[in-house]
Amino acid sequence: MSTADRYRRFADAEARGGSPCYEEWALGVAADGELLALLDDLPVAKRQPNLLFAAARYSGIPAGPFPDFRRALLADWPAVRKVMLARRTQTNEPGRCAVLLPLLAALPQPLALLEVGASAGLCLYPDRYSYRYGDHPRLDPPAGPARAVLDCEITGPVPIPAALPRVVWRAGIDLNPLDVADADDVRWLEALIWPEHDHRRARLTPAIEIAKAEPAHIVTGDLNEKLTTLAAAAPREATLVVFHSAVLAYLDAESRAEFVDTVRGLNARWIANEGPGALPVTAPPSPEPERALFLLTLDSEPVAYSAGHGQTLHWL
């Protein structure tokens, strides 16, 4: 796929309805020979719209009309390019815990959580966030260092938990873990949030406080290389849950197949929240085929579709 097609597809399938600014920027880039030539000078994996736009905002270019963005980008290209080469798209969205929670709460407690592709580890605190599922009463954890409220619209028979799960162990693996105690990493996490998503920015700060108060053990490395050893370190008296969200798209087919074999060989429950097609699973059709929804599976069984940032959950 050409870079122009990639930006047009991003505008149509991802940004439309989610970020008018990014939709305009992506369509603008797709039609701009000068910008496309700069992008095509980067390695293929570094030409992504999300990476460019986050790197631009991280470098101080504000959200705004495309002509202003274009002007600033051309003026600051060496700095933006450097950020694009140094950083990766590692959006860490605690809102995805709202999707995982109904499954986690229904498993035998307590839980040992192991997230592959954990980024900064903010999805490792499902027991520390507050949840509002549609009109249901808010579910709150005991008082903690901060309150992050996750709103989730629901359709279908979502098994709303009566109580939050009990987590006794939190661990993760990432090629490049982000550090919630590092100011630059936090600024990068902020830049990865789309401009109009104030509600996501608002909950990032309390989520980071929660993670800082109870640091998870996050190992640097490839998930296929580290999973078995890390899983063996989980406490035996807890239900080990291996989970991941928005990660398998980064793996090639061979690495995905290897991961599936490894995780199936562990004595663990397995929750995936990924683009349909990422796993060898046959699922009922998506309720919104025009939107890029994730498929939620438990031990390879499809249970729900969810929106990318955990804002909607459609139970099958």
Binding stretches for ligand SAM (CB under 6 A): 88-93, 96, 116-119, 123, 173-176, 222-223, 244-247, 250-251
Instruction: Give the shortest CB-214-to-ligand SAM separation in angstroms.
Output: 17
Nearest to 312, CA basis, from 279, 278, 273 = 273
Instruction: Give the shortest CB-71-to-ligand SAM separation in angstroms.
Output: 30
Nearer to ligand SAM, 3 or 92 (CB): 92
Q: What is the number of the residue whose Cβ is closest to ligand SAM?
A: 117
Instruction: Give the shortest CB-88-to-ligand SAM separation in angstroms.
Output: 5
Q: What tokens appear for 66 in the block?
A: 């495309």
Q: How far apart are CA 44 and CA 36, in angstroms?
A: 12
Nearer to ligand SAM, 57 or 244 (CB): 244
Beta carbons of 100 and 303 less than 8 angstroms apart: no
Give CA 289 to chain center in angstroms. Answer: 20
Phi, psi of 28 (to 5 degrees): -65, -45
Nearer to ligand SAM, 73 or 279 (CB): 279
Instruction: Give the shortest CB-246-to-ligand SAM separation in angstroms.
Output: 4
Nearer to ligand SAM, 149 or 175 (CB): 175
Instruction: Give the shortest CB-17-to-ligand SAM separation in angstroms.
Output: 20
Nearer to ligand SAM, 3 or 89 (CB): 89
β-strand pairing of 239-245 with 111-116: parallel
Nearest to 16, CA basis, from 225, 194, 138 = 194
Amino acid occupying residue 184? D
Q: What tokens appear for 122 in the block?
A: 């903010």
